[in-house]
Amino acid sequence: MRRTVRLVTLPLNRAKRDQIAGLERAYAEAKDRFLVLLAPTSKWRYLANKRGFRDFAKAEGFYPKDMNVHLVDQAAFDAVDTWVRHIESVVATSDLKARISRRFSGERRHYAYSLLKSYADVGSILRGEAPERPKITLSDTERACVCRFLHRRLRDAFEKAGNPRACLIRSLSLDETMYSTWVVEQEQGRPARRQYVEIVGPEKNKRIVLPLAGISRVSGNIRVVMDEGSERAFVHVAYEITPLEKATGPKKALDWGITEVATDEDGARYGEGYGRALQGISDANTGKGRRRGKIWSLTKAEAEPKKARRIAKRNLGTKKQARRREGGQASLRTITGAALKEIVYGEGNHTRARGAVPQHPGERPSLIVHEDLSHLRGKARSKKLSRLASAWMRSELEGRMTVHAYRGCSPTKAVNAAYTSQTCPEPGCGYVSSENRNGDGFHCRNPHWDCGRQGGADQVAAMNLASRASDHEITLFTPHTEVRRILEVKFQRRTESRTGGASVPSGTAGNGVRTRIAEGMATTHGRTPSRPRRHQSDVGGAGNAGADSRSPVHTARTGETQRLESEKKRNA
């Protein structure tokens, strides 16, 4: 695994900025030409062979003659990487793997998954073909059935996403032959040493020298990034991550949240300042947006155009807003990084992560189970919660988790989080209902026996996530409706085992639970619930995803009431 480190340069003069801008423009034009060349699906066979595509493009005359040939090579390789990321993004966002899991099984599912691993096969499917697999024994009819399904889904997904193009002119990739670096010892001034990176220039035998603000290791392929109007350039360097000794500690399950970064099954919370920082960013954005909206309305209502333009210029810029947003996101990244280091490396993570303190394999979890966040889309039930969710850096969280888990040699496993905060984690109970959760608290409302399990909803969700890591019935792609049915069937079996295998009476709810309310009796908690309470949705996923706001008890009571009312109307 590789991670990218961003190095910043000192402020550059106008001549150097113009030279870098000219290089970026020529690089973007060459890359865009290669992206268009790779658009036909028949060319996707080159996505697994960068050098083969380079030779093909050079033989077909797509190389510009007035540009450094090595820089054009990098543009061709960059175009291949862009198409690879585009295809993987389309497959991931289209929820195609989940659809395959629900539709096919056995050899058909294995065949469909194997096709998505090859970019050439994805292109063949889009052309209406059915590629063969030597180790998969399926008939032509079965392969055609799978490929027709994949063709429809992929066609719609790619038509919606479109083809990638080089729209932003802000970066160029360089290999080791296109730059050099050295460090100069300074006799006067601070710092005592200064590092320089010298890259190719627009003219032959003339290079551009970039002074770095610090000292770092620069090797391999690098990327030079410079936005329009910026005085500094950034040098992105990718490093190989060396994993530590294999972790042998206990398994750990995590429930992500917005009040803290994560909560494990023992109730330990990591990154407790995350919620305050997130709330501060959300409030600042909301207040600033309202004030900017009022100023914008003034510019619309202002009769004098010159004054309106002056108001908009002085008050509706985006530079200061972008700096504030970057500062807020940096604080969230700091809290997230510290929390994940503590999860993976243990207490004292700041020194352990740098290797100052020996890493003990027994202190690192042998498996990290966490909820899947890729399916979270749309708005929450309230505007306030939606604003918090929009500022929640889920991709940053998942990316840092991947890096630290690889470094700590702790494998990760994403599981289905549906109804984890509404299901009782006791082995002998497992009662699922929206009544179990009230805000951040959990209290089992089992109507059959007095379970009485209480605790934090996030801890309960983490305990259920830990148990689902070994659950073969509830997979990552199981729909939430099917998850609810499986949980209800399991609870019905436990209920029957406690009653000696007796069948459940007719006055039952949808999950097989005998409804004492239908018999006019109170629950074991001494109360007869009326209308169900509405709870705040857990954006962290501990999932009420798609859950019905009524418990099975309420459902049965509502059906009985409707039947009595209909009989009264007929008799009347």
DSSP string, 388-411: HHHH--HHHHHHHHHHHHHHTT--
Residue 213: predicted pLDDT? 92
- Residue 365 DSSP label: B
> Is 33:234 a contact under the CB 8 Å cutoff?
no
For 258-281, write each residue's pLDDT tens digit: 888 999 999 999 988 888 888 888
Structure tokens at 389: 């969710």
DSSP alpha helices (H): ranges in 353-454?
383-391, 394-407
How far apart CA 144 and CA 128 sit, in angstroms, is: 9
Find the Cα–Cα–Cα–Cα dihedral 476, 482, 485, 491, rounded to 10°: -10
For 448-497, write each residue's pLDDT tens digit: 888 888 999 999 999 999 999 999 899 888 888 999 999 999 999 998 88
**Would you put residue 95 in left (φ > 0), alpha (ψ -120 to 50) or beta?**
left
Report which secondary-structure segment, H or E, holds 368.
Answer: strand 368-371
Count Cβ atoms within 10 A of the Cβ of residue 361 and give its class: 0-12 exposed, 13-18 middle, 19 or more buried: middle
Q: HEC profile for 160-228? A: HHCCCCCCCCCEEEECHHHEEEEEEECCCCCCCEEEEEEEECCCCCCEEEEEECCCCCCCCCEEEECCC
Per DSSP, what are the bridge partners of residue 4? 238
The residue ranges of every structural domain in the chain are: 2-12+175-240, 94-161, 252-413, 434-568
- Residue 486 DSSP label: H
Residue 247 in this model has a pLDDT that exceeds 60: yes
> What is the pTM assigned to this prediction?
0.74
Q: What amino acid is encoded at 297 in this protein?
A: S
Q: For residue 335, which phi and psi values (nearest 5 degrees)?
A: -65, -40
Residue 13: predicted pLDDT? 93
Residue in the structure block whose two tokens are 């959760």: 437
Q: What is the mean pLDDT of residues 522-551?
A: 38
Query: Distances from the Cα of 436 to the Cαs of 145, 370, 492, 554, in angstroms?
Result: 44, 22, 17, 13
The angle subtended at Cα 35 by Cα 30 and Cα 36, nearest 5°, is 100
How far apart CA 451 and CA 439 sit, in angstroms, is: 20
pLDDT band at 241 (very low <50, low <70, confident <90, very high): confident
Residue 317: predicted pLDDT? 73
How far apart CA 235 and CA 12 sit, in angstroms, is: 13
> Is 370:410 a contact under the CB 8 Å cutoff?
no
> Is 531:539 a contact under the CB 8 Å cutoff?
no
Residue 525 in this model has a pLDDT that exceeds 70: no
Q: What is the mean pLDDT of residues 17-43?
A: 94
